[in-house]
Amino acid sequence: MKKKEPPRTVHRPPSGYISVVPLGHIKEDVLRVVADSIQGVLRLPVDVTPEVGLPESAFMSARNQYNVLDLIKFLESNHAGPSLKVLGVTAKDIANPILTYVFGTAFMDGKAAVVSTARLQLSVNGELVSREQFLERVVKAAIHEIGHTFNIPHCHKDHCVMRASNSLTELDEKMSYLCDYCELFLAEAVGDALRTRSAQTRQAESG
Ligand SMILES: [Zn+2]
Ligand SMILES: [Zn+2]
């Protein structure tokens, strides 16, 4: 039987909606599931940009980690372009000055978010998890952070992807989609963001 070729991630031209930016090398299957799942949740076009190097200034050498707040600023200043939101995906370990590590970070209503795959490969016992479980974790982290960029706070509903998760167990317990309440909230926030943007475009055209 002929071996099935893995589908290639399409580096789509900037749609001006959502951009997924690989920060350093990221495997194609990861980029593909992240882009597809965000597209499914937001119902907006998602493009994957070519790989971008991590800024050296964000590296915390004493901790051997990247400062996620610096990575967010870097994306906002250099790679946001016309996009509504930008999601950086890195395989490097990330943290902020307060926490020892994070799976991802975003500011409420911010333009950029970052997720890391560095801590999503192993089970709590330290064994390698299946590729399927790994990808599911990445998707959960990505949707969660993109949700924050649309101003969705943490949710307390059982298994909603917007629940806070500070451990792999908590991440594994969540669904990879939003509860009905958060989904409504998100749809409204996406609608608002699109209306604001088209009003700005109209103003720019007439101004
Ligand atoms: Zn959160
Ligand atoms: Zn929810």
Distance of CA 184 from the midpoint of ligand 2 (Å): 9
Three-state DSSP string of 115-162: EECCCCCECCCCCECCHHHHHHHHHHHHHHHHHHHCCCCCCCCCCCCC
**Residue 136 binned pLDDT confidence (cut-offs 50, 70, 90):** very high
Give the tens place of pLDDT for each residue, 92-101. Answer: 999 998 999 9
pTM (two decimals): 0.92
Residue 3, pLDDT above cutoff 60? no
Q: Give the active site residues.
A: 145
Rg (CA), the chain: 17
Ion ligand 2 neighbours (CB, 5 A) are 155, 157, 160, 162, 179, 182
- Phi and psi based region of residue 134 (left: phi greater than 0; alpha: psi -120 to 50; beta: remaining): alpha
The CATH architecture one would assign to domain 18-206 is: 3-Layer(aba) Sandwich (3.40)
Average pLDDT over the chain, rounded to an integer: 92
Q: Tens digit of pLDDT for each residue in 109-119?
A: 999 999 999 99
Question: Which ligand has the nearest atom to the CA of 159?
Answer: 2
Q: What are phi and psi of 89, to 5 degrees?
A: -125, 125
Band (197; pLDDT cuts 50, 70, 90): confident
Q: For residue 159, what pLDDT band results from cuts at 50, 70 and 90? A: very high
Which ligand number lies closest to the CA of residue 144?
1
| CA atoms of 117 and 103, how far apart (whole Å) | 7
